[in-house]
């Protein structure tokens, strides 16, 4: 596998931070400085971690799910659950965030399945 250039992962950190109106944190990660957050962004309340890899299993799963969702005219969301760990982690496209947040607020889960995040 080839090495990722510094400019490539920095650009992705900038892109992710911009989604939340923040900037890329220059001294994040392993800088070890007490005066800087280890978050990849300057956001005051979100701790953002951005990972650029050749592939992620969750991305491949999301792509498969999106193809199925499009056939049904639905918005894709992947909920990742792990044994002995409560709740789920959600994988979604930021372009769909408003729609998904609206559905989450509306509580459209079937009766008995509408557990809050946990």
**Within a domain: residue 65?**
yes
Distance CA 21, CA 84 (A): 35
**Within a domain: residue 117?**
no
What residues contact 91, with CB distance under 8 A and at least 6 apart? 58, 59, 61, 62, 77, 78, 79, 80
Distance CA 84, CA 87 (A): 10
pTM higher than the cut 0.85:
no
Q: Which domain holds residue 79?
A: 57-106
- Same domain, yes or no: 31 and 72: no
Distance CA 39, CA 49 (A): 6
Instruction: Check residue 26 and give its pLDDT.
Output: 81
Q: What DSSP state is assigned to residue 39? A: S
- Same domain, yes or no: 80 and 93: yes
Instruction: Check residue 24 and give its pLDDT.
Output: 92
- Same domain, yes or no: 43 and 69: no
Model pLDDT for residues 62-111, shown as the tens digit of each residue: 999 999 999 999 999 999 999 999 999 999 999 999 999 999 999 965 65
- Same domain, yes or no: 48 and 64: no
Map residue 63 onto helix, strand or coil. Answer: helix
Q: What DSSP state is assigned to residue 109? A: S
Helices and strands per DSSP (H, E), number in the chain? 3, 2
**Within a domain: residue 116?**
no
């Amino acid at each position: 596998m080839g090495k990722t250039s510094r400019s490539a992962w920095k650009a992705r950190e900038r892109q992710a931070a911009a989604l939340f109106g923040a900037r890329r944190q220059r001294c994040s990660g392993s800088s070890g400085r007490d005066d800087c957050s280890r978050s990849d962004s300057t956001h005051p309340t979100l701790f953002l971690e951005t990972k650029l890899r050749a592939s992620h299993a969750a991305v491949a799963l999301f792509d498969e799910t999106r193809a199925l969702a499009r056939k049904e005219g639905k918005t894709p969301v992947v909920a990742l659950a792990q044994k002995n760990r409560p709740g789920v982690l959600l994988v979604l496209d930021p372009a769909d965030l408003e729609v998904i947040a609206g559905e989450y607020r509306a509580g459209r889960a079937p009766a008995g399945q509408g557990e809050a995040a946990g």
